[in-house]
Amino acid sequence: MTAPEYDLEFVRSQFPNIGELAFFENAGGTFVPAAVSDRIYDYMRRNQVQPGASYLASTEAMERIDRSHRRLAEMVNADAREVIVGHSTTMNVYVLANALKPSLKPGDEVVVTNLDHEANIGAWRRLQESGIVVKEWQIDSESAELGGTQKLEQLLTDRTRLVCCTWCSNITGTINDMQAIAELSHSAGALLCADAVAYAPHRALDFKNSNVDFLLFSLYKLYGPHLGVLCGKRERLLELDNQNHFFFTRSALPQKLQPGGYQHETAASIEGIVEYFDRIFEHHFGESECSTKERYEKIFELFAQHEDEIAHPLMDFLNSKPNVRIIGLPEVDFTRRVPTISMAVADKRHREIAAKLGEQNIGVGAGDFYARRCIDALNLGAGGVVRISMVHYNSLDEVARLINALDELL
């Protein structure tokens, strides 16, 4: 099948809040399609009762939440019992670290990076209070890259129990070779916890074939409601301690790792993300017979091509500016990076630049984005970076507006 032409107008028509604001802070949280926001509204009007009781509003509420959970699992090619939903990725990592703690002994080792968002570092570092040794896999202070797996290899020992690493940096947009990291971690007898929060908005996730033991992503950065998802290999999850009420057993998945549950109206809206992707697929590929996995691969291939196309003019423009340092790979290449482009400007007026763009209804971010250790390692502690993050619904016109505005400011 030849690739269809990408229909950006159709894509944008799915998002009610696409309009005057040229939005480039997608790595902080994306817009949601009507299929998601309508479900939240509808759930609250029709089903806002305790789910799982015997009356219609309640049985329907349960069905909506269950269906969302099942379809979320299908979307990332995981079993439903392998999918834990919580308030955020940060919360999910805390729950996971607490659940894992009893199986670790003093002297056991955990590897974290200084590239990750603090969500996949802080909870692991706190294990030091229980005698766990935490080692840091450090980025190169110029390239901002972890640089293959050689450095990781040197950190691994027969006491390493866990490696925690981001699949894609929320600062540089660099995609790490998770397959190689998984193989190496496993060969040392360690588990792998991969943060796919910055990766998932741009590439299809395939948990079953990923070789990752624990996979994290946040739905509010994947065109959905403000929730975080933790996928865990079933046998690994079964080994973890219960973090919920005492009457949940060790095999109660996903409940034992969802203390406090999560908001029902947002839970029921997750199905809207899937409906959105279904619409995109059917619009571009018709009723073609594909497995779910193939459908997502095709959708995200279309997205990646478009993202590269709109990233090119911005990258060329930034490269032409002598007072700009692009953090990470200064090239567009969807095999190596996503279009999350951070820059440091010589005089570090980062917040001022973001504010000036904001006055023109252009949204970008400035700061460290909670990847503080990465920003410090790159000697950018004073002002962080300006981050311009695009996704598949951004347009060339928006990029042109951004470039024009930046040209006045840089």
Ligand X SMILES: Cc1ncc(COP(=O)(O)O)c(C=O)c1O
Can you give the binding site for ligand X, defined by CB under 6 A?
88-90, 117, 119, 166, 170, 195, 197-198, 218, 228, 370
Q: Which is nearer to ligand X, 281 or 369 (CB)?
A: 369
Cβ atoms 193, 164 nearer than 8 A: yes
- Least Å distance between CB 4 and ligand X? 31
- Min separation Cβ 226 and ligand X, Å: 8
For residue 228, the surrounding DSSP H or E stretch is strand 228-232
The alpha carbon of 277 is separated from its chain's Cα centroid by a whole number of angstroms, namely: 17
- Which residue's CB is nearer to ligand X, number 51 or number 328? 328
Count H helices and E strands in the chain, helices first: 13, 13
Any residues with CB less than 8 A from the CB of 48 and at least 6 apart, and which?
61, 264, 265
Q: State the Cα–Cα distance between residues 314 and 324, nearest whole angstrom.
A: 12
Amino acid present at 72: L
Nearer to ligand X, 22 or 215 (CB): 215
Which C-beta is closer to ligand X: that of 83 or that of 188?
A: 83
Q: Quote the CA–CA distance of 311 and 403 in Å, as a whole number.
A: 11
Q: Which residues 6+ apart lie within 8 Å of 59 measured at CB?
A: 52, 53
Of 47 and 89, CB closest to ligand X: 89
* Residue number, 32 or 61, with CB nearest to ligand X: 32
Closest to ligand X by CB, 88 or 176: 88
* Smallest distance from ligand X to CB 321, Å: 26
- Token output for 312: 């090119």
Q: Which is nearer to ligand X, 204 or 338 (CB)?
A: 338
What is the arrangement of strands in the sheet containing 365-367, beginning at the earlier edge strand? 324-327, 340-345, 385-389, 365-367
The distance of closest approach from Cβ of residue 370 to ligand X in the complex, given in angstroms and rounded to an integer, is 6
CB of 202 to ligand X, least distance (A): 12
Q: What is the DSSP letter of 168?
A: B
Q: How far is CA 156 from CA 151, 152, 262, in A?
A: 9, 6, 36
Q: Are 193 and 120 in contact (CB under 8 A)?
A: yes
Nearer to ligand X (CB atom), residue 313 or residue 367 = 367
Residue 375 CB, nearest approach to ligand X (Å):
13
CB within 8 A of 381, min separation 6: which ones? Answer: 375
β pairing state of 22-23 and 362-363: parallel
Least CB distance to ligand X at residue 146 (A): 14
Length of the chain in terms of residues written: 410
CB of 284 to ligand X, least distance (A): 28
Backbone φ and ψ for 23, nearest 5 degrees, come out as -100, 115
Minimum Å distance from CB 42 to ligand X?
25
Return the amino acid letter for 335.
T
